[in-house]
Amino acid sequence: MSEITKNTKMAPEEITKKDVTKSYLRWHFANEIPHSFDRYLAPSLLFAMMPILKKLYKDEKSLKAAYKRQLLFFNTQLSWGGGVITGLMASMEQQRAQEEYNNEEIVMEDDLMYNTKAGLMGALAGIGDAIDSGTIQYILIAIAIPWAQQGSAMGAIFPFITFALYQVLIGLFFAHQSFEMGRSASSIMEGEGVQSAIDTLSVLGLFMMGILAGQYIKVSSSLAFNLSGKEFVIQDLLDQILPGILPLAVVMGIYWFYTKKGLKVTQALLYLTGILIVLAAIGIL
């Protein structure tokens, strides 16, 4: 076998859009399956990257080194963090493979690649959790609540299906965009346009939470008394002062509990149920 033929066979293959799509989908559906204490989601990222790494590194030693690079500690949000970083790692590994094949100076060093992941995974996780879990999810639930109240199964199915579809599509979008832009993808995510969109969605999420609380949390007072022959109904007085003040008080009380005690949902529900039973028994609610 000639040296030219050998080098041709060892050359990295071109990474296509189909490869990036496959990589993200592998990450998406294997995200929490191999979760481990010491590496967290790194096995999922390696599983996602394996087809790409096999196309890039034909030498067994280089392939093993690439596997080890992608198996270091990693943890981020599914679509925003996972999408950007899978596409970005594919781009960076492609450049690294070309540098090795052409015997060039290795610019895409191991530390640079891992530091890029480490710098992005926390920031993107915060953005993704705030927008996906804190905003988009509740918007979809709010849309479906009237169907659920009417007894339609669509009320339960719609948020589940649409949120799952949204996360796949947004993750694929980020994966392809970050692969095409390479290392500049991180600067795009930090740009004013993205930050403005994040702030807008955060405000929208607060509005949606307020709408849900006002529309679907039903708390009213049954307390009434006579004063100088005139009946005063407490609920009517409260409605004149601030409609929905009691549901708002319940929501803010739960929020205060979470800030003081942490996200102990079961404990909060038990306390809330006990308080409401007592207030109802003495005729206040």
How many residues belong to the chain? 285
Q: Answer yes or no: are the C-beta atoms of 132 and 28 closer than 8 Å.
A: no
Token look-up 């601030």 returns 242
Report CA Rg, the chain.
Answer: 27
For residue 91, give both structure tokens: 């781009």
SS (HEC) of 51-119 = HHHHHHCCCHHHHHHHHHHCCCCECCCCCHHHHHHHHHHHHHHHHHHHHHHCCCCCCCCHHHHHHHHHH
- Predicted confidence at residue 199, as pLDDT, reads 60
Residue 141 sits at the vertex; the CA angle it makes with 137 and 143, to the nearest 5 degrees, is 120
Kindly give, in sequence order, each residue whose CB lies less than 8 Å from that of residue 108, ignoring residues fewer than 6 positions away: 92, 93, 95, 96, 99
- Predicted confidence at residue 65, as pLDDT, reads 92
Task: Produce one character per residue of 256-276: b if its CB has 16 or more CB atoms within 10 Å, e if not.
Answer: ebeeeeeeeeeebeeeeeeee
Q: Answer yes or no: are the C-beta atoms of 99 and 70 closer than 8 Å.
A: no
- Predicted confidence at residue 5, as pLDDT, reads 47
Q: What pTM did the predictor assign?
A: 0.66
- Predicted confidence at residue 260, as pLDDT, reads 80
> How far apart, in whole angstroms, are the C-alpha atoms of residue 124 and residue 76?
7
CA-nearest of 162, 192, 187 to 177 is: 187
Q: Answer yes or no: are the C-beta atoms of 128 and 83 closer than 8 Å.
A: no
Q: Answer yes or no: are the C-beta atoms of 102 and 92 closer than 8 Å.
A: no
Domain boundaries, the chain: 3-211, 219-281
The pLDDT profile of the chain, 285 residues, written as one tens digit per residue, is: 444 445 677 888 889 999 999 999 999 999 888 888 888 899 999 999 999 999 999 888 999 999 999 999 999 999 998 999 999 999 989 989 988 888 888 888 888 888 888 888 888 888 888 788 878 888 888 888 888 888 888 888 999 999 999 999 999 999 998 898 875 554 555 555 555 655 655 565 566 666 666 666 777 777 676 766 666 677 777 777 777 777 778 778 877 887 887 777 788 788 878 887 887 777 777
